[in-house]
């Protein structure tokens, strides 16, 4: 069984790391810890531009249709950067629940 990452997955991780290094420095994380909301619309809009919200959603529903491992590449980099915000609950938990519910 081959468990190595694909070139696409490695590219996703590199791009996520580059983005988070630039947009999510330690000072931003600390500021968001103190902020009532915990994230800014500006960084959320930039993540939308990068298509992170659509990675694991199937193409017929407006997503990119990549697999869970592709999404994990983004999540791993977010964990490394201690990214503040509702990405996990919105993109993974809510989207997965909606997709599963649609199968009923």
Q: Where are the domains of the chain?
A: 7-101
Return the half-sphere exposure (C-beta side, CA atoms, 13 A cut-off) of residue 84. Answer: 19
Would residue 26 be called left, alpha or beta, if left means φ above 0 and alpha means ψ between -120 and 50 degrees?
alpha
Give the pLDDT score at 104.
Answer: 47
Check residues 100 and 31 and name the one with the higher pLDDT: 31
Would residue 65 be called left, alpha or beta, if left means φ above 0 and alpha means ψ between -120 and 50 degrees?
left
| Per-residue pLDDT reduced to its tens digit, 38-97 | 999 999 999 999 999 998 888 988 889 998 899 999 999 999 999 999 999 888 888 888
Class of domain 7-101: mainly alpha
- What whole-number distance in Å separates Cα of residue 93 and Cα of residue 79? 16
Q: How far apart are the first and last CA of the chain?
A: 33
The residues, ordered by sequence, that sit 6+ positions from 80 with a Cβ below 8 Å of its Cβ are 17, 20
Is residue 103 over pLDDT 70?
no
How does DSSP classify residue 94? I
Give the pLDDT score at 22.
Answer: 96
């Amino acid at each position: 069984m081959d468990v190595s990452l694909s070139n696409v997955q490695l590219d996703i991780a590199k791009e996520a790391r580059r983005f988070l290094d630039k947009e999510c420095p330690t000072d931003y994380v600390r500021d968001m810890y103190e902020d009532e909301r915990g994230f800014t619309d500006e960084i959320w809009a930039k993540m939308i531009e990068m298509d992170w919200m659509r990675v694991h959603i199937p193409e017929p529903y407006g997503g990119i249709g990549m697999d869970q491992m592709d999404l994990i590449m983004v999540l791993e980099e977010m964990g490394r950067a201690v990214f503040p915000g509702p990405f996990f609950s919105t993109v993974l938990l809510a989207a997965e629940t909606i997709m599963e519910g649609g199968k009923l």
